[in-house]
Amino acid sequence: MVNVLAQTAALIAVGVVWRTVRPWGLDPDVTRRVLTGVVYGVFLPALVLDVLWRAPLGLDAARTAASAAVGVVACLAVAWAWFRFRETPRRERGALLLAAAFGNVTYLGLPVLESAFGGWARSVAIQYDLFACTPLLLTVGILVARAHGTAIDGESPLLGLAKVPALWAALAAVGLNTLSAPIPTVVGDLLARLGGGVVPLMLISIGLALEWGSGWGRRAPAVLPVLVIRFALAPLVVWGAAGALGLEGAVLGAVVLEAAMPSMVLGVVICDRYGLDTALYAAAVTLSTAASIIMLPLWRAMVP
């Protein structure tokens, strides 16, 4: 796991250096949007189709999704209570709620789980995300952003959910898997080749999104509760929920480790779109990603 975290840090560092140096005059934010757009629309659906078509689907998949949903809701509730108690301004509170509730469970979680548990754990990361986190993000998360932001957007959260290519790929994969449809060699090779680009491109994109600018003295204390929720509350709640639902062994360990991921990068886009405090959210992503280099090995040592 130390090896994969070192590789992960190196790829993120590529993005950080790119943001600083701006090679060939390419704007880092534009570059990030292009990379994430290609991954979102092409590479990630291919990876989802490849993994879920092959993966065994049963009660453990449903238990994984249910455990993830419990974790997200619990983190959101605790964060809401804390930041309301602290009387955090609305735009800041909305950004911090998203950062506390939703982790980087695919783009960082997938390579970490695969390194820690083996190739089979890729399906756990995808099930955790697409069967629970993404639907909650694009429904409850969007409602939270609307309630705390300043931008007006009339699109229905359910319509936004229907526009996620990876979810359609997941539905197709589950159908093909259920029917025991064989994977043609050419299709399998193509999906594997496309899916292989997801992790490196998105880790570079994480680096491109990290901002080490001014204002850290003010933002760091506000982000501290997010770190506590992401690295302590989330994995503990998910561990309890998953154990109560009957998950055990390596699958339980993979689900708990998945819950301990840092804040998701996609939240930057949501903050921009709905007028939340994007700089504060970026600080939460940056600090939690840096802290994950220490916290993820600690959690790996504790889980089954």
- Tell me, yes or no, whether 38 lies in a domain: no
Mean pLDDT of all residues belonging to the chain: 88
Report if residue 36 sits inside a domain.
Answer: no
User: What is the spatial distance between Cα 188 and Cα 215, in angstroms, rounded to a whole number?
Assistant: 48
Q: For residue 113, is pLDDT > 60? A: yes
Q: The domain containing residue 80 runs over which residues?
A: 2-21+46-302
Q: Which of 78-87, 111-120, 204-213, 278-287 has the highest mean pLDDT?
A: 78-87
Classify residue 29: in a domain, yes or no.
no
Residue 221 has pLDDT above 90, yes or no: no
Q: What is the pLDDT of residue 271?
A: 85
HSE-up of 48 (CA within 13 Å, CB side)? 27
Model pLDDT, residue 217? 64
Please, is 185 exposed, middle or buried when counting C-beta atoms within 10 Å of its C-beta (0-12, 13-18, 19+)? Answer: exposed
Mean pLDDT calculated for residue range 8-19: 86
pLDDT tens sequence across 159-201: 767 778 888 898 899 899 889 899 999 999 999 999 888 888 8
DSSP 217-280: HHHHHHHHHHHHIIIIIHHHHHHHHHHHHT--HHHHHHHHHHHT--B-STHHHHHHHHT--HHH
SS3 content of the chain, % helix, strand, coil (to 5): 80, 0, 20
- 34 lies in a domain? no
- Residue 236 placed within a domain: yes
CB-count burial class (<10 Å; 0-12, 13-18, 19+) for 242: buried
Q: Structural domain tally of the chain?
A: 1
Give the CA dihedral 242, 246, 250, 256, nearest 10 degrees. Answer: 0
What is the average per-residue pLDDT within 271-282?
84
Residue 27, domain member (yes or no): no
pLDDT-above-70 percentage for the chain: 94
What's the average model confidence in pLDDT over 267-283? 84
pLDDT band at 96 (very low <50, low <70, confident <90, very high): very high
CATH number at residue 274: 1.20.1530.20
In a domain, 79, yes or no: yes
Contact yes or no for 204/18 (Cβ under 8 A): yes
* Mean pLDDT of the 207-221 span: 71
Q: How far apart are CA 255 and CA 239, in angstroms?
A: 8
74 located within any domain:
yes
Instruction: Give me the pLDDT at residue 230, please.
Output: 97
Torsion of CA 170, 173, 179, 182, to 10 degrees: -170
Beta partners for residue 263, in sequence order: 103
- The residue count of the chain comes to 304
CA distance 244 to 185: 40
pLDDT of residue 214 exceeding 60, the answer is no
As a whole number of angstroms, the distance between CA 50 and CA 57 comes to 13
Residue 203 contacts residue 107 (beta carbons within 8 Å): yes
